[in-house]
Structure 1
Amino acid sequence: MKFRIDKYLLSKTEELAFITVKEDAEFKLEGYTLPKDGLNVPIKNEVLVKGIKENTAQEGLNSMSIADAMIYIIGIDPQFRYNDEYKKFLKALEKNVKFDAKSYMGYMSRKYFEIGEVTDALIYVKALITLYPDDIQGLYNYAIVCQELATQYQKDYDAKAMNDMLLEAGEKLEQVTNLDPNFALAYYHLGYHYYNQNQYIKAKVIWEEALKLGLDEEFTAEVQDNLGKMYSKVEYEEGYTLVFQGKFEEGLEKLLPLEEKYGDWWNLLFMIGLAYKNMGEMDKAKEYYEKILRMKPQQVDTLVELALCEASSLNMNRAIELLEAAAKLKEDPEILCNLGMAYLNVGNFDDANYYIERAYELNPEDEVTVACKRELAKYI
């Protein structure tokens, strides 16, 4: 099983010490044989220190303290070089002393979670799903702990770590729903992941499934409230998806009714303008792009789209003016090529050459830029 959050746990290896146990050492466990060259066995520093203080360091190296540390390192780093050997040891220990490794890892994770030691809680439950990758409850608990850690990283203003934890949680919740399509709480939490990623259609489908499967009264009211509040966002997502699919009229049927209530939502106006532009209704498209620029004069995509509308209406000077404004805000090869071709259309070969060459410098492998260079070569 792969994890994207390993790097946030690796520092916890500092809480472990490693002791080399030789083949002839007194380390006997029925069903387990030490490797020929011995084995580096982990032990938690706190156990070692306690043993030294109490002058019982050697006694501290019992099978359970070693097993606990092995589980800990497996949870920290699933790729640790001795993990396969540690797994053999744990399996033998289960048979010898009726040690239930899965229950132990679940217990330790809950224990640390309850006292607020969330990273340790994550390590133990991560070890659990490493050793038992199809354990549904383990996967669910792992996702919940990741969500809790994401909250802590948010408070620390660490957006990258927060995002990684949320993505990890979302992936594992999806895995839970695949393994158990009737796990209502997994759908409940997964809906929030889709919602926070602005995937409103997915969030709607997932939350509706959670309601169908049955939630506690409190969760049911919460989900119903969310579904009501996100109706317009779902309509918007459905609308722009239709526009991107080339179904412009169907897209407008979804988008236009939203304009009255959300007339200051520039994304909505942009998609309406894009639909009209692709339908060849340039005047209507320009009307929407102009509205956006009155609200956001430096919205680059809108400047470019309006310029293309002006160019298609043969208003080349206005198109050049808009593209120059866009190029000053964002030196992008596509914008520069459009600007170069606009200059070419009005016979200004020097400026056309300048902008197309600059686009080529930025991305010499871009097919559009290469085509523009080829077109320019016909004139200079």
Structure 2
Amino acid sequence: MIDKNSIGIQYMQQGKYEEAARIFNEILEQDPNDPIAYINFGNLLAAVGENVRAIAFFNKAIEIDDSLATAYFGAGNTYYNQEDYVKAKDNFEQAVKLGLQEADVYFMLAMCLAQLGQEKLALPYFQRAIELNDLDEEAHFQYGLCLALLEMVDEAIPHFEKTIELNDEHPDAYYNLGVAYAFKDQSEKALEMFENALNIQPDHFLAANGKKNVEEFFRKH
């Protein structure tokens, strides 16, 4: 027997949201206590920006079976999109506690902590996200940012470099590398990085400002 939830997920992945909603509705009509259908419907609602309804569906899934890590993960993402970082963090922590071992959940937990100004607490979660998926450019970039904010510049540089290795069109990674090199008094390298950022994104205000400051430094010395 073909699993209807799988068909609904397939429709979602194809962007056929109405068809997916119809399938999940059918499942819930047949079995109003299918927690997986509630989770999938929650993910669908979140994808179309109906965050409040999405959370209600995730909560319903948790009410039926509070051991489903993916329900907490879905709720966490939705709260994060609403900028409710405390509730998002609580849900991601619960997902991890229930055994969800995916790079995404560790990355999102780290992002919550960073948004809450708890950069030091975020570090091990960024680290774990990268261990689980070393090819995630955004995880490397955000980890680098977090390290840089804590003035751990030498540790941050390899992660900005890795971001560029994975995506050489990442202006913010070049910009932050420029800042790191300026911090280390390596002005020529800093200038090169600011210029790289501006080549990709000519209106990158911060990179333009960084470049101007380094050029002024050269004029004075």
More helix by share: 2
The structure, 1 or 2, with the larger RCO (C-alpha pairs under 8 Å, 6+ apart) is: 2
Give the 3 Å change call, closer, same or farther, for CA 366–342 of structure 1 in structure 2: same
Residue 369 (structure 1) aligns with: 207
Secondary structure of the 1:199 match is helix
Correspondence 1:249 to 2:86: yes
2:175 to 334, 337, 344: 337
Task: Report deviation, 1:258.
Answer: 1.1
Question: C-alpha offsets along residues 11-43 of structure 1, whole Å, 9 cap, x if unaligned?
Answer: xxxxxxxxxxxxxxxxxxxxxxxxxxxxxxxxx
CA contact (8 A) 1:263 1:269 kept: no
Identity of aligned residues (%): 14
Show structure 2 runs of 5+ residues with no match: 1-6, 29-36
1:291 to 121, 128, 136: 128
Correspondence 1:180-259 to 2 at 5 A? 188=25, 195=40, 198-199=43-44, 205=53, 232-259=69-96
Report the number of matched residues: 190
Give the 3 Å change call, closer, same or farther, for CA 369–234 of structure 1 in structure 2: farther
Question: C-alpha offsets along residues 185-216 of structure 1, whole Å, 9 cap, x if unaligned?
Answer: 68726998x9489436569958x99xxxxxxx
CA contact (8 A) 2:45 2:51 kept: yes
Q: Distance in 1 between matches of 2:210 and 2:41?
A: 40
RMSD: 3.8
Question: C-alpha offsets along residues 76-105 of structure 1, whole Å, 9 cap, x if unaligned?
Answer: xxxxxxxxxxxxxxxxxxxxxxxxxxxxxx
Show structure 1 runs of 5+ residues with no match: 1-146, 155-161, 175-184, 210-223
Q: Distance in 2 between matches of 1:313 and 1:304?
A: 14
- Scaled by the length of structure 1, the TM-score of the pair is 0.42
Secondary structure of the 2:14 match is helix
Q: Distance in 2 between matches of 1:315 and 1:328?
A: 21
Task: Report deviation, 1:375.
Answer: 4.0
Q: Distance in 2 between matches of 1:328 and 1:197?
A: 35
CA contact (8 A) 1:200 1:237 kept: no
- Scaled by the length of structure 2, the TM-score of the pair is 0.68
Higher-Rg structure is: 1
Residue 321 (structure 1) aligns with: 158
